[in-house]
Structure 1
Amino acid sequence: MRAKAPEGWTELPVDDTAPLDYLASRDGTTGFSTASIRAWRFAPEIIANRRNITLDEPDSYDLDLLIGNWLHGMLADSRVSSFSLLPARTIGGAPARGYTYIRVSDGLPTRYEAWEVGRRDGLWDITLNSAPGETELPPELDGILDTITWTDAPNTPTTPST
């Protein structure tokens, strides 16, 4: 996944050992101590084993069911408020469902906007967040989802070549 990081933000490198597939932050840090956008990909074989959201068509997912499952957990969390579903959309041409909420940690509220994106290479979780103490996403994140493009990993052989 690629996105156009806002001007002045730092796009941080991720490698095959990193838990993230994309990360850009306002000040170049990797934690949630500043505003950021981050993405994780869950491979289809992981989703098939751990989530009951796979549809009959190959590489397709019930994003509404997934969001419903998250909603159930979020509403039970006393640290979460202002939960709201966002209109369905596409991100980089792929179907996406999203929601936004405020979560209080260490006495500071933080705004989150989360998107689940279903693609043939798996399920993507894209999260935008404000800095702690801010209840709105920074304006420079407006439109960032529209800049997302997908890059396919090179094919790796399943058997050694001779």
Structure 2
Amino acid sequence: MLQDKIYYKILFSIFSLSMLATCSNFEPKVSSSYMTPVANTNLSDYFHMKIPSGWKSLNRNEYVGMASYRLVRQAENSSSFTGIQVIRIAPEHFRGATSDADGDNRKVDMSKYCIESMSDARKVGVVSVKKLPPRIIDKLQTCGYSGYEVHESRKYFVYYWFVWRHDGMWEIFINSDPDADEIPRELVKTLDTIRWERR
């Protein structure tokens, strides 16, 4: 009788241990649509872009405006409209964002944002506004459109690209040379070199 009790205790212990091992190996699957929690919104991640030959990056003290990053031709300065400007809008200032109850996992309807941006552009005088085919920038799906702007009586063809990340909306504007109908090829190629590095 005593041997039976010991046998059942040992059997129960083995069963319990096997159940614990099974449970510890189970991990819930995370949905692929789950968004990365918002980081410290006072800081943005480090932005990197390969500078093509014949172009240069301006230092932040060389120009005024909201742009975090500016690229112009080697012979130009901050008065040039030709080149690339990159602007970041912090998540807490971004209109139209939704989030979980705790404020994390902010989401944006990029299609809606692009349509609204195109409408706003037309209102401020951008003409021939057309939606661009979506593209990937640093493994992220983006949206964008093209149009023509006028600065100081000169016409510029422009690409507008929008990238939503955990640290906000990054807006990338690429301006053609004056009175040109296309963006310099090397500037379009730089979109493939854009990378963000987490702080």
Q: Which TM-score band (shorter chain)?
A: 0.7 to 0.9
Q: 1:52 aligns with which of 93, 96, 100?
A: 96
Structure 2: gaps (5+ residues):
1-46
Instruction: State yes or no: 1:29 paired with 2:77.
Output: yes
Structure with bigger helix share is 2
For 1:105 and 1:43, how far apart are their aligned partners in 2?
27
Structure 1 runs, 4 residues or longer, greater than 4 Å off: none
Which residue is equivalent to 1:63?
A: 110
Q: Normalised by the size of structure 2, how large is the TM-score?
A: 0.66
Which residue is equivalent to 1:150?
A: 196
Which residue is equivalent to 2:146?
A: 100
Change in Cα spacing, 1:18 to 1:110, as seen in structure 2 (3 Å) is: closer
Q: CA deviation at 1:22?
A: 1.6
Structure with bigger strand share is 1
Asked whether the 8 Å contact 2:97–2:106 carries over to 1, the reply is: no
Structure 1: gaps (5+ residues):
154-162
Q: CA deviation at 1:114?
A: 0.5
Asked whether the 8 Å contact 1:35–1:138 carries over to 2, the reply is: no
CA RMSD of aligned residues (A): 2.2
Q: Normalised by the size of structure 1, how large is the TM-score?
A: 0.79
Which residue is equivalent to 1:83?
A: 129
- Secondary structure of 1:131's partner? coil
